[in-house]
Structure 1
Amino acid sequence: MERLSYLFLLLENLALKGTAVQSSIFYICGAAKAIDGIRYSPSGTPHPAETHTYCSITDYQLNPWWRLDLLDSYYIYKVTITNRADCCPEQTSGVELRIGNSLEKNGNNNPRCGVTSLVPGGSSVSFSCGGMEGRYVNMYLPNIQMYLTLCEVEVFGTGNF
C-alpha cells in the first residue's frame, strides 16, 4: 500500500492539460472551472459570485454530465472530486465516474470507475481507478433531474506507452 501512495505522489494532475465540456451551463459556471487547479469551494453563505467563480455547474436538467478530454489516452489511477461547501451536497451525490475512449452517449457509456455517495460540503472524495485506460473522464448523474456541481476534478495517471 505504501508503494501505491508513493506512486500517487509522482503522478501529475492530467486534468490541467485537458479541456472540459458539460451538458449545459448554469449562469457563468462553465466546465473549465472544475479543472483550473483551484481546489476551492466557497463556504458559509458567500456572495453567489464566489461559487460561480470557482465551480462548474450545469443547469437543472435530466441526466446532467461533465466531460474532461485529456487529449490523449492515459492510464488513470486516481480521480479526486471536490464539492462546494456553501450548499447543495446532493449535487454531487450519485455521480458516476466513467473513463474510456468512446464518445458514445457523450462518453457516458464508458466503463465506470466508481459512484459518489453523499460528499459533504467542501470535501473531496477520491477514487482509485486501478489504471483504467482512457482519453475521456466523465461525471454523469443518470436518471435524475438535478444540477451537477463540481468545484475541482483532479485526474492522476501515466502516459499510454
Structure 2
Amino acid sequence: GMNIATWGTANQSTLYYTWYAQNALDGLSSTCTHTDLQSDPWWKLDLLKTYSVNRVTITNRCSDCCANRINGAEIRIGNNSSDLYSNPVCAVVSTIPAGATYNYSCRGMEGRYIIVNIPLTSEYLTLCEVGVCVIFPGNSELLNNLV
C-alpha cells in the first residue's frame, strides 16, 4: 500500500492553541494535533474520495506527560461525515508508547473519511502523525509511476 494521508484535508472537534488538525500530516513527529478537554474528542481526515484502506498508522506524542491519552482511541473508516460514530471501527488503540508509531490493519475497509476518536470520556486527543495506506487494485503501473 501507499500512504495517501497528505492527499486529504484534516479537521478536529476543537482546537487547543495552535495544535492544528493538519499537523498530523506534515511528516514531523514533533508537531502534533491537540483538542481541548472535551467529551468524545475526534480528528477526521477527508481523503476526498473513497479508498480501500489497508492500514492506518498513528504516531503518539513524544512527551512523557501524556502518552496514555491515546489509550482507548477508536480508528473509524467510512463515508459518513456528519455522524462520525456511524462509521465502522477498524481498530481500537490499546496503548502506544511515547513517540512510537503503531500500525493498525484495516483489511481493505472502504471509506472516504478516517476518524480517530476517544469515546465515552472527557479527554484531550493528540496525534503527531497519521498515515493511511491504501490498496490500488490492478494499478501497479500507476504506483510505479508515482514512486
Instruction: Give your verdict on TM over 0.5.
Output: yes
Taking the aligned partners of 2:111 and 2:136, their CA distance within structure 1 comes to 10
TM-score using structure 2 length: 0.88
Taking the aligned partners of 2:103 and 2:26, their CA distance within structure 1 comes to 18
* Residue deviations 1:16-59 (CA, integer Å, cap 9, x gap): 11000000000100100001122x24xxxxxxxxxxxx000000
Task: Find out whether 1:35 has 2:25 as its counterpart.
Answer: yes
- 1:3-22 matches, within 5 Å, as 11-22=1-12
TM-score using structure 1 length: 0.81
2:51 equivalent among 74, 84, 100:
74
More helix by share: 1
Compute the displacement of 1:154 (Å). Answer: 0.2
List gaps (5 residues or longer) in structure 2. 139-147
Q: Which residue of structure 2 lines up, in the alignment, with residue 25 of structure 1?
A: 15
Taking the aligned partners of 1:130 and 1:73, their CA distance within structure 2 comes to 15
Q: CA RMSD in A?
A: 1.4
Structure 1 runs (4+) deviating above 6 angstroms are none
Compute the displacement of 1:122 (Å). Answer: 0.6
1:92 equivalent among 38, 55, 70:
70
For residue 50 of structure 2, give the secondary structure of its aligned residue in structure 1. strand
1:63 equivalent among 40, 46, 49:
40
Cα distance change on mapping 1:20 and 1:160 into 2, 3 Å:
farther
| Equivalent position amino acid for 2:100 in 1 | S
Task: Find out whether 1:141 has 2:118 as its counterpart.
Answer: yes
Compute the displacement of 1:158 (Å). Answer: 2.9
Taking the aligned partners of 1:91 and 1:57, their CA distance within structure 2 comes to 11
Alignment: residue pair count: 137
